[in-house]
Amino acid sequence: MKRIRGYKYRAYPNNKQKEFFEKNFGCCRFVYNYYLEAKQKLWREWHDTLSYNEMCRDLTHSVKRENAWLREADSTALQQSLRHLDRAYDNFFRGRGGYPKFKSKKSSQSYRTMNVNGSISIDERTVQLPKAGRVKIVNTRDFEGRILSAAVTKTAGGRYYISLQVEEVYEILPNSGGQIGIDAGLTNLITGSDLNEIINPKTLSRHEKRIRRLQRSLSRKQNGSKNREKARIILAREHEKVTDIRNDFQHKITYKLANENQVVCIEDLDVKGMMQSRRLAKAISDASWSEFYRKLGYKMEDHGGILIKVPRTYPSSQICSCCGEKNPDLKDLSIRRWTCPGCGAEHDRDVNAAKNILEKGLAMIASQAS
């Protein structure tokens, strides 16, 4: 069974390679912005647009001749910038994203290059890239497969990463065959139908004091000064530290769930809508439910499990998991423990919701099978 998967490695380029990467970032950014502006102008004046093939021909026969410095960049990386622009418009018209924006050199930088006739390869310590040569990496993950492309990324904090897109043959990993329902929350990140709870680490909250201090320090620096750039990098690295801690925590929890269960049932949360709440937006963002569910999804697939999303309209918190009676009073979120008026069972709100989510998910599987 074949699949396409990404492998990401921390890279440590030398000064010459860093200079080449910066040129590539700038050239790809220029090409993207140039043709985004051209497409906007063409639409305003003639209600017409440029296809990917038309942009490629114009880039080769016109733009590169007028801007000879573009020839110093990886040619396939420039073509991929046009691919990204074309895909951005496609996503916009299909309702999968917003209108394409101009790229800025102030944020993280990246470019993608394709593996043409073995131009990209990897060994124990380095990755071979077109025009860049062998770039030193920390090789933490091995794979067997055909490399399709490579993406070089420089974060706002100055770290470099190389991500390889690989076509590989894989085998389904085993799992313990369990079944669990999960209720997501802010105090407990997840509460399981097996009564286990994972406390929300609130990673951003624990680093917020230092981030505020670094942000104030940055705001005092003069625009364009070296001290401001140093302060910006320090602040960016603190944000990256928060992201790294959160990702590490989520990877461990999702791997444990996928390794132990054949069926995991979750609630299909409207995270984007919930983020509109001024009071809870920061806490919801810190919990990062969408990213948690994304990681859980592909890990369940790797282990041959099933991830079921229960409709968000299902009143999992209001139904007694013992007798099925609905208690409308539980729309008040401050009620954390309650007694069923029908059967007298005492419930913890989150555990009861997790049990109902599991029951509903199993019913959905049964209905799909019949």
Q: Which residues are identified as catalytic?
A: 183, 267, 350
The answer for residues whose C-beta is within 8 angstroms of residue 92's C-beta and 6 or more apart is 98, 99, 100
Q: How far apart are CA 160 and CA 110, in angstroms?
A: 9
First and final C-alpha spacing in the chain: 27
Q: How far apart are CA 355 and CA 85, in angstroms?
A: 45
Q: How far apart are CA 255 and CA 339, in angstroms?
A: 35
Tokens describing residue 119: 């131009």
Nearest to 82 by CA among 58, 118, 105: 58
**On the CB side of 77, how many CA atoms lie within 13 Å of its CA?**
31
DSSP one-letter code for 172: P
**Contact, 305 vs 261, CB < 8 A?**
yes
What's the Cα-to-Cα distance from 299 to each of 89, 148, 169, 272, 309, rounded to whole Å?
Answer: 31, 22, 16, 23, 15
User: Quick check: helix, strand or coil at residue 116?
Assistant: coil
DSSP string over 68-98: GGGGGS-HHHHHHHHHHHHHHHHHHHTTSS-
Tokens describing residue 81: 């910038």
Q: How far apart are CA 124 and CA 140, in angstroms?
A: 9
Q: How far apart are CA 182 and CA 197, in angstroms?
A: 10
- Per the DSSP assignment, residues forming a β-bridge with 184 are 190
Tokens describing residue 299: 């890990």
**Contact, 128 vs 169, CB < 8 A?**
no
Residue recorded with tokens 């999960």:
182
Nearest to 130 by CA among 83, 77, 81, 80: 77
DSSP one-letter code for 144: -
